[in-house]
Amino acid sequence: MKKYYFRQPYVAFFLYLCNLDKSQSGNAVRLPSTTDMKIGVIIAMDIEYRQMRDALGGDRGRLGNNEIVLWQCGIGKVNAAVGTMRLVDTHHPEAIVSTGLAGGIDTAMRVMDVLAATQSVYHDVDCGTGLGCDYGQVQGLPARFDAGRQLIDHALNVPLAEGERLMTGLICTGDQFITDRERLNDIKRHFPDGLACDMESAAIAQTCHLLGIPFLSLRVISDTPGRTDNHQQQWEDFLASMCDQSFRFVKKFLETL
């Protein structure tokens, strides 16, 4: 019989989560009253990670007054949650920022827009109204996870480069790369205020909510299935031509936080 071994910190972490009061609001947690923080930046894909590492000048260092730790979690909700746990266990950040790419599902979104997600929600979770849950809500947790208010406020005050656009609103997360128009319409039916889709943000937001860590998802729009039917080509073109400018806003946000 195969034996499984678990590192002690993860056992303690699991027991901690089991005893959390899940009604507590992670959004009430404020940033430390200091200008010298450790900020975890979590990212999913190899190409996103390399691009962000190049923009930051490494996977660990200082930007402005803060220490920055870049962490790759892998694609999808489970990888995102486990990656967030590992980041917290290893580096103990005082705030977490998720960055990378997202697909714009609203007609207002354009390629290269930056979305500062004020809320995150699951578009592929349905616990049923019989349990008193909204669509997308995990029982016992908020229907949507709010971003840290101070992080959002800071994002709104970062100077924009010429032609750069910052959007704020809802990001919808699920273990799907949205290519089907019917599926996109279904997401918009449940979440008409949804601006973009990704595969990690809500899972990271949930983990940060449970741990009481301020969180913000900052996503660069790579394709716009909400505006055009050629979004697959948009996605491929974006990956082929990704440049430092893609993550300029994220770097400036971290430098000035």
Q: How far apart are CA 250 and CA 245, in angstroms?
A: 10
Q: Which of 48, 106, 146, 200 is flagged as catalytic? A: 48
Number of Cα atoms under 13 Å in the Cβ half of residue 126:
5
Around Cβ 30, how many Cβ atoms within 10 Å?
Answer: 10
Around Cβ 225, how many Cβ atoms within 10 Å?
Answer: 26
Contacts of 96 (CB under 8 A, 6+ apart): 39, 40, 41, 42, 84, 87, 88, 204, 208, 213, 214, 215, 216
Q: Which of 106, 113, 198, 223 is flagged as catalytic? A: 223
Q: How far is CA 51 from CA 63, 216, 231, in A?
A: 16, 19, 21
What is the residue type of 177?
Answer: F
Contacts of 39 (CB under 8 A, 6+ apart): 66, 67, 68, 69, 93, 94, 95, 96, 97, 254, 257
For the chain, first and last CA: distance in Å?
51
Burial 145-178 (b: 16+ CB within 10 A, else e): bbbbbebbebbeebeeeeeeeebebbbbbbeeeb
Does 175 qualify as catalytic in the annotation? Answer: no
* Active-site residue set: 48, 223
